[in-house]
Structure 1
Amino acid sequence: MHNLRIVVVNPVAFDGDNDPAFAAQAARSNDLRIGLLQAGYNIIASLPADLYLPDRIAQLQPDMIIIDAESDARDVLEHVVIATRDARRAIVLFTEDDKKSSMEAAMAAGVSAYIVAGLQTARIKPVLEVAMARFNQEQKLLNELSDTKLKLADRKIIDRAKGLLMERQQLSEQDAYKKLRRLAMDKNLKLSEVAQRIIEANDLLG
């Protein structure tokens, strides 16, 4: 678990010299970084939540993204969601925002763990382990759902191709299926790929 490649994302800072909010955020960020390093984690980058974030995350390919936002994290979360839209990753949000609406919005956006006032070093390791386990379980369910949808789509294509063979060549359903299998074996293609070609040929010929 400690071999996780982690990217920490912080809000964009505008005035680091005179802004008390910036000073508080900087202190939090430092505590988080120290806690991660003491727990043995590998921080590969600390990035601002700006327009370049999706490209940076795509280049770095982290295993986990940690958002460190003391208060309203919606803008930061929006950048992270965009950055992980095409390749999902475990997301952990450390914040001081304990509003239920904020937590629900974050979880709906794909956050694996929403941690309020949880920057104590001793908490970081179990929090990240639970977040990664939850993310892996969700990813497994999503993959299973995707496989099921794909199988259903393939079945519809095969059934349609069978229907065309039955209609055009006066075959029984069993014989039409056997013909599809034989064509797939002869051409070294999936059954659904042969079925799709039959459908496309039929559409071309009208």
Structure 2
Amino acid sequence: MLKILIVDDAPERRRALQLALAAVPGVKVACVVESAREILDRVNEHRPDVVLIDTTSPSRDVLEQLGVVSSTAPRPVVIFAEDGSTETIRDALKAGVSAYIVDGIAPGRLDAVMRVAIERFTTDQELRTQLAATRGELADRKVIERAKGLIMKQRKVSEEEAFKALRDLAMQRGKKIGEIARQVIDAATLLG
């Protein structure tokens, strides 16, 4: 069962969206929010699978709230809007929106739109995880190179021997080599 959080400040649009969702099998509306200021609190409270926002044009408040949700409690977000300007769409995507649909809700396509948003969100999350891991590996490599240089200078050994010393210490202590390299750099900094 997909739990949905609806954000819409217009009662007639909100009712239309709720009716459209009632026709989609396996969907439950967990919460309806009228104000953008409530989005993060309601996401944390209800833990919806998808956030649906129906608006004329997403305001700065909505986009700021979505940015916070994206960084603290990421969810697939679909915006249905009348504003199809490139800048607005770009801002929405930067805020973490998975799908931005212009010119209303087609009830027959609602299920497909949500599934596409969920898939795009999942793909984006996987890419973010890979990017973070790659950045971490790059940072570790830089630290390891610096630590090797310090060891080579202090012990007057080759690069290979310096790396072996780092690796052996990491294995002895059950830690990652990057962490040991940071400790070597910290110790060298402390000792001058």
What TM-score does the superposition give when structure 2 sets the normalisation length?
Answer: 0.89
Tell me the number of residue pairs that the alignment of Structure 1 and Structure 2 aligns: 190
- CA positional deviation for 1:144: 1.4
- CA positional deviation for 1:116: 2.1
* 4+ long deviations beyond 6 Å: none
Distance 1:117 1:193 in 2: 52
**1:101 maps to what in 2?**
87
Distance 2:152 2:54 in 1: 61
Kept in 1: contact 2:31–2:42 (CA 8 A): no
User: What per-residue deviation string (whole Å, max 9, x for no partner) do you get for residues 146-177 of structure 1?
Assistant: 11111000111111111111110111111111
Q: 1:101 to 1:186 in 2, by over 3 A?
A: closer
Q: Which residue type is aligned with residue 72 of structure 1?
A: S
**2:19 maps to what in 1?**
34
Structure 2 residue corresponding to 1:139, chosen from 97, 107, 125:
125
**1:6 maps to what in 2?**
4
Q: Which residue type is aligned with residue 6 of structure 1?
A: I
Q: Which residue type is aligned with residue 92 of structure 1?
A: V
CA RMSD across the alignment = 1.8
Unaligned runs of 5+ in 2: none
**1:19 maps to what in 2?**
none
**1:17 maps to what in 2?**
none
Structure 2 residue corresponding to 1:188, chosen from 133, 156, 174:
174
- CA positional deviation for 1:39: 0.6
- CA positional deviation for 1:50: 4.2
- CA positional deviation for 1:200: 0.8
- CA positional deviation for 1:30: 0.9
Distance 1:178 1:99 in 2: 57
Kept in 2: contact 1:155–1:192 (CA 8 A): yes
Which structure has the higher relative contact order (CA within 8 Å, separation 6+)?
1
